[in-house]
Amino acid sequence: MNKRIGVLALQGAFAEHMAALNKIGADCFEIRQKSDLTLQTPDGIILPGGESTVIGKLLQELDMLGDLKKLIEKGLPVFGTCAGMILLAGKLSNDDHKYLGTMDITVKRNAYGRQLGSFQTMGLFKGIGDLGMTFIRAPYIETLSEDKGVEALAVVNDRIVAARQGNMLVTSFHPELSEDLRVHEYFIQMLT
């Protein structure tokens, strides 16, 4: 049976994630309103990069934040990239906001500076190997709770840029901007 991935499509790089999912043959649909979480029950959700403050505000205005949090807490697999990582973080070190707060990580927003601080590099991703990584106004994980099952999956320049805790996967970088689809395939494997 083919798994259905819901991609949060309020703002940010949702179209790029959908294109990546289509390339690997995954069935996906846009989540734009509360009813999209129930009418087409997803087997997994992607929270894309974008502006975390805007996405968080829209989730609240559309009354989706609580429902999304409950689904994740019940075990629905979720993959957050860049802003998605910020939404899932239990704590932000340089911001008082807290959105979903389901993952036991502390994240620093805009850790690499403004848009001009964006860069590409190669890094080792546990279980995948060497991977091209694109960072755009990216956060990184300052601390994670290994005692609560959080595992660092990638470290670049002594900064944790990918992690997993049970059903939650996060990356600081944007795998949807690469032709290398192995991170999306990794997420699909989490659905089985």
Tens-of-pLDDT digits for all 192 residues of the chain?
478 999 999 998 999 999 999 999 999 999 999 999 888 889 999 999 988 989 999 999 999 999 999 999 999 999 999 999 999 999 999 888 889 999 999 999 877 666 556 889 999 999 999 999 999 888 999 999 999 999 999 999 999 999 999 999 999 999 999 999 999 999 999 997
Per-residue pLDDT tens over the stretch 78-87: 999 999 999 9
**Cα–Cα distance for residue pair 8/1, rounded to 1 Å:** 22
Task: Write the DSSP symbol of residue 49.
Answer: S
Give the tens place of pLDDT for each residue, 41-64: 899 999 999 889 899 999 999 999
CATH of 4-190, one of 1.20.1250.20, 3.40.50.1100, 3.40.630.10, 3.40.50.880: 3.40.50.880
Cβ partners under 8 Å of residue 101, min gap 6: 69, 88, 89, 90, 91
Catalytic machinery residues: 82, 174, 176
Q: How many helices (H) and strands (E) does the chain have?
A: 6, 12
Distance CA 109, CA 17 (A): 21
Summarize the chain as % helix, strand, coil (round to 5): 30, 35, 35
What global pTM score does this model have? 0.95
